[in-house]
Structure 1
Amino acid sequence: MAEIIKLNYDDGYKNIQLGDDPNRVIRINPTDAKFLNRMANFDIKSEEIKEKYKDVDLNKITELQNLNEEDPEFDKLKDAAAVADQLDCAVKELINEIFGYDICKTVFGDK
């Protein structure tokens, strides 16, 4: 059997464990030029996402505060939930774009 030689080197990545869960580890390389460029272009990317979700009515979310359990207008709740989902997607999309992978799944889980 051939001998296995292990080569270890510093690839620049930093592993960050979230809490005590060894399955929730994010990896970033703060010296990676592409990562740095994505960080530098945060404003541009956030504007692109704002444009993509420009039709989202933020007032729908604040209406949830005034929703009465006895209120027969449950469509308000559905609309507000849909808007909240759209905003959640937009924020996660921006974060994932910056890090270059689906970091939000590790950080926030499947929810």
Structure 2
Amino acid sequence: MDETIIINGCSFNLKAIKIKNFVLAGECLGDFTTAENVDEMLAEKDKKTLCDAISFLFAGDSSLSDALCEGTKDDAIEALKQIALYYQSLFKRASLMAKSVSLIAAKPKI
């Protein structure tokens, strides 16, 4: 899986995202309606909000937002989907490792 994302000519390393920045981006995106999938959820947000969220992910503030807004809304949506996909697989692996460690530490009685 590619660890770099390119948005409107700017290159960002996906491994460089801090947990604090995920929180800021989540606050920026706010609540979602009852959309069925990620495409619908992101499509209901305006381009400025999406670019602000990407800026919060990589910079921790909205300093990159104006440059990112020069791209299309579809570019921003694709970038956020790629980020979500990358981190989803990492969180799944971490969860499986944590489960394995917990089973080693305390075997359940059957």
What TM-score, normalized to structure 1? 0.32
Larger CA Rg, structure 1 vs 2: 1
Greater percentage in helix? 2
